[in-house]
A and B are shown apart, each in its own frame.
Chain A
Amino acid sequence: MRRHQTGSGLHKTALAALFTVGNTLIRYPWRSVGPDMLGLFLLSAVGALIPALCLYPLFCRLLRRRLSGRRGRLCLAAALALPLGAYALFCVWRSCGDYLNFASGLILPDSGRLLLALGFLGCVVWLSRVSGQGLDAFSLVCFVCVLACVLALFCFGIPHFRPEYFGVRLPGSAAELAGSLPVLLWESFLPLAVLSGYFALAAPRRGERALAGGTAVGCGILLLCVLQTLLTFGASYAAELRYPYSFAVRILSVGQYFFRLEGFSYLLDYAACLLRAAVCLAAARRLLGRFFPRLARWLPPAAGTVIFGIFCLG
């Protein structure tokens, strides 16, 4: 039993880390802030720990207990769970949409758009329905591969780094920070609230350590990617590119025979987006299932079909 719990903590850490990366790298939300990018990223990394430390205990109290006959508690739980479930569905849409646009724009520019959407959404729906242990195993395998790829790509990128592009600058005034706060809130804090909800429903009782640790590790992975992008391109040029990290990796070569290493970075994008979408869908299913158990069973395929339809029409 003890052994199982230790293993589960590691698995959950991996899950939280990949969720934290999610579609953040594809969206590259700091592109609007120019030279402040690295400072804001570090600020958002600190902010990313807030859900793990504050929201998780709250969700545990409200969502994990059985719904009793007390109307006040029921209303409070419903008021929390239903908006969070709806937001989780929105995160599924954003994560899937970002990955599918990225993949159809960069990986398969000329073909396979519908096939790609079908395959990816199929994986999301399937993963959201497997048991917690299945999702954990998938997370750990992906995490090990992703970490190896990110570290290797960072090391290969070192000869291309320009130290003059490095600089940590925080917003100079309250007005500047106020302009960046919505970005931080939207991109890092809110999606991680869904992860806290998922952990409150699915994780063992002491999930906060795995949640906080995983979030910190995820921020570490993001930091490596952001640093690689910044030190290769500089903040202002990186902000002009559509997918800066993929482009920063694309220029790498090892020796005379290994070129175009960006394929390894696709693993990061794929695994992180897939896991974020699957966890969000699983969280929405579980949150909705507290109140409408029969309806919740059909939520993953229905959500997958709707997203597929929108993507096909778009």
Chain B
Amino acid sequence: MNWNMILYIVLNTAFVFLFAPLLISLIKKVKALCQGRHGTPLLQTYFQLFKLFKKEIIYSDNSSFIQRISPYLNIAFLLVASIFVPIVFIPAQESGFGNIILFLYLMVCARFFMALSGLDAGSTFGGMGSSREMTIASIIEPTTLMACAAIAFILKTTDIPQMFGTVLNGSILQYLPLLLVACSLFIILIVETARVPVDNPETHLELTMVHEAMILEQSGPKLALMELSYGIKQLILMALLINIIFPWGLATDATVSGILISVASFIVKAVILAVAIGVFESFFAKIRFFRLPDFFIIAFFLSFATILFELLS
């Protein structure tokens, strides 16, 4: 492991860690504005996390080591996954970081332990949340892989930094089918971050809840870690979508100016996407749980169509 890589890991992780909470509150703000409310301040998520870190931890007397370790594992898996998605600059090639399938499965790991912790306290809410989360995850997984396969097919690589590099060096006009995959990735992003047509991140006690139900028993700093990992997951999926279709601004080597431009351009793009997500959420109502496969099929079809398009051209 060389210095370039270590610098990249430190900067990228730090950026993801610090920037992730802002996007959570930004999307909330956009939704509030759409509904005609003022909404909370943009820094609200930071305040909340800070407050949670100062609180005590309460464990259920039914719970085991699973509930205790799952927040750590969650954030660890997602932070390692974030290394796979270059935001500050594209690092020199290094075996081990970048494979898109390993990236997907790191996120599966985080979900696996979160679902287990939902079952740990023996509460009905947690069990319901884990059951639904794992069901949704199972039926979206073929779509996710299909989208990744389509990208890998178009860009002829399975390495995420290389994908970004390829689009950066060419032009999106060369890779027009990517726009179709982008739609599919957008749906995957909505599903994975438990957003409105699939789940509702704002409810705690409705029967609609999936993600929030699983973390119901977490408290204090452990809940903060869970919230943070949610933010990180959202940010890296957004970064994947953004940098695959609009990577411009992303630096290819580690210079101060390059990194600053990358970060600044990424923030602009991320804010635009976050606004889009907020608006998208406001236009939809929650879909009935057993109707979800129909929604996922759209994304599946888009990815499959991309592959067909690329095959026949």
Specify whether A and B are partners: no
Which residues of B are in contact with A by a Cβ distance under 8 Å?
none
Which residues of A are in contact with B by a Cβ distance under 8 Å?
none
